Amino acid sequence: MLIKILGTGCAKCNRLEQLAREAVAELGLTAEFEHVTDMPKIMAYPIMSTPALVVNEAVKVSGRIPSKDEIAGWLKAAGQP
Where in the sequence numbering do the catalytic residues fall?
A: 10, 13
Q: Where are the alpha helices (DSSP H) in the chain?
A: 11-27, 39-43, 68-79
Is residue 70 a contact partner of residue 61, using CB atoms and an 8 Å limit?
yes
Backbone dihedral angles phi then psi of residue 62, each to the nearest 5 degrees: -150, 150
